């Protein structure tokens, strides 16, 4: 099984299923794709039905999209408990994951990852000021705080035990660090969000990704 990924320095979409497959204990290797030039994009489109990464290749089968790969992993490795066991917690986990998958547009736009602003490493850049960005950060702090308070009693992750939601929020935690986003100024008075972001960035699977990105 092979996971086709973009450059680890800034492909946030690739990081998510990587973390999920690692947590599942899946036997997989990564393959690097690039899409900087028209030639590279054309080559990627020959392999990936959507022309995008990540792409999971299982024999002849191809699953594209980070959330679809994660759902596949949850079904294929049920013993890994990739979604919370409790039905209500699971519904919330899916909701916040889906919101991350398709929302937070200002956060993506103003704190995007690129060569200049990699998601890994310890370089820093000041966050631009924009009301939409502030609203997204406030929403993020609210989601992290509410989920931690309501469902987090069994561990340090968003729903206590590690879940796919944590994979989807890991790139955001890297953006918080890189752009030095002030969570405290956006409703994180109790530092619940700050602590959770630090937990995400100390995940050994993430540290492995980060290490591979910096060679
Ligand atoms: N919704 C997709 C988004 C995938 C995506 O946008 N991938 C970017 C890299 S992080 C990509 O492949 N870009 C290639 C290009 O722009 O040509 C997912 O979750 O997998």
Taking the chain (215 residues) in runs of 10, the rounded mean pLDDT of each run is: 95 96 98 95 97 97 98 98 98 98 96 78 80 98 98 98 98 94 97 98 96 86
Q: pTM of whole model > 0.75?
A: yes
Our mutation pick for probing the ligand 1 site, out of 13, 41, 70, counting the most ligand atoms within 8 A of Cβ, is: 13
Is 84's C-beta closer than 6 angstroms to any atom of ligand 1?
no
Residue 45 CA, ligand 1 centroid: distance in Å = 12
Cβ pair 164, 70 in contact under 8 A: yes
CA atoms within 13 A on the CB side of 32: 9
Chain position carrying tokens 């022309």: 51
Q: At what angle do helices 12-24 and 204-213 cross, to 10 degrees?
A: 130
pLDDT at 115: 73
Residue 62 CA, ligand 1 centroid: distance in Å = 15
Is 171's C-beta closer than 6 angstroms to any atom of ligand 1?
no
pLDDT at 78: 98
SS3 180: coil
CA distance 116 to 138: 25
pLDDT at 122: 63
Residue 13 CA, ligand 1 centroid: distance in Å = 6
Q: What is the CA angle 8-12-15, rounded to 5?
A: 65
């Amino acid at each position: 099984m092979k996971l086709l990924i973009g450059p680890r320095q800034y492909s946030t979409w690739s990081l998510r299923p990587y973390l999920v497959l690692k947590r599942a204990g899946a036997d997989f290797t990564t393959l690097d794709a690039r899409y900087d030039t028209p030639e590279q994009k054309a080559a990627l489109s020959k392999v990936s039905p959507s022309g995008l990464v990540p792409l999971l290749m299982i024999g002849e089968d191809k699953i594209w999209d980070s959330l679809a790969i994660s759902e596949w992993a949850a079904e294929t490795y049920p013993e890994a408990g990739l979604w919370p066991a409790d039905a209500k917690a699971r519904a919330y986990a899916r909701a916040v994951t889906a919101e991350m998958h398709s929302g937070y547009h200002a956060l993506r736009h103003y704190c995007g990852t690129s060569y200049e602003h990699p998601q890994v490493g310890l370089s820093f850049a000041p966050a631009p000021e924009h009301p939409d960005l502030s609203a997204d950060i406030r929403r993020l702090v609210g989601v992290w705080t509410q989920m931690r308070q309501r469902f987090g009693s069994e561990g340090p992750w968003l729903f206590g035990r590690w879940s796919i939601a944590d994979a989807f929020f890991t790139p955001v935690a890297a953006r918080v660090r890189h752009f030095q986003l002030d969570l405290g100024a956006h409703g994180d008075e109790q530092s619940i969000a700050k602590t959770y972001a630090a937990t995400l960035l100390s995940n050994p699977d993430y540290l492995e990704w980060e290490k591979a990105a910096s060679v």
